């Protein structure tokens, strides 16, 4: 079973702080996505990374794909209350040729004003 482990499971911080959340696996992924889900809504795609070592930035969010394509991280600079939500990583296993995504269970982030 190809699993994606996300850490921490919960994170509560004050507005203005920086944070990093992690997505790890023992398996290689050909691509990996990050989604943000607000309460009562569906996940929204933030970014896709496909190359080992790739770094992508989306305003205050920085996403990195590990060199071996087994892990990824999401760093948020100067967090704001609007960043509150469930952050999910999801990946396509390199072996299998499937269109199915493997999802992590998410990091629930709360940014307090």
Binders of another protein in range 21-80 (CB under 8 A)? 31, 33, 35, 40-45, 48, 50
Examine residue 85 and tell whether it contacts another protein (CB under 8 A).
no
Number of residues that bind another protein (CB under 8 A): 21
Distances 83 to 48, 86, 91, 109 between C-alpha atoms, Å: 19, 9, 22, 8
Q: Which of 27, 30, 23, 31 is nearest to 7 (CA)?
A: 23
Q: What is the 3-state secondary structure (H, E, C) of 53-73?
A: CCEEEECCEEEEECCCCCEEE
Least CB distance from residue 30 to another protein, whole Å? Answer: 8
Measured between alpha carbons, how far is 108 from 38 in angstroms, rounded to an integer?
A: 10
Least CB distance from residue 23 to another protein, whole Å? Answer: 12
DSSP 16: T
Least CB distance from residue 13 to another protein, whole Å? Answer: 22
Q: Which of 52, 60, 67, 105 binds another protein (CB under 8 A)?
A: 105
The three-point CA angle 40-45-47 to 5° equals 150
Nearer to another protein, 36 or 71 (CB): 36
Q: Which residues bind another protein (CB under 8 A)?
A: 31, 33, 35, 40-45, 48, 50, 88, 90, 92, 99-101, 103-106
């Amino acid at each position: 079973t190809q699993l994606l482990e996300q850490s921490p499971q919960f994170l509560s911080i004050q507005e203005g702080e920086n944070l990093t959340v992690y997505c790890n696996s023992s398996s290689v992924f050909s691509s990996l996505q990050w989604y943000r889900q607000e309460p009562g809504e569906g996940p929204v795609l933030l970014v896709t990374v496909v190359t080992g070592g790739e770094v992508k930035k989306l305003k205050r969010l920085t996403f990195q794909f590990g060199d071996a394509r087994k892990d990824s991280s999401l760093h948020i600079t100067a967090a704001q209350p609007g960043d509150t939500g469930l952050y999910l990583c999801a990946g396509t296993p390199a072996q299998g040729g499937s269109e199915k995504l493997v999802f992590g269970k998410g990091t629930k982030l709360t940014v307090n004003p």
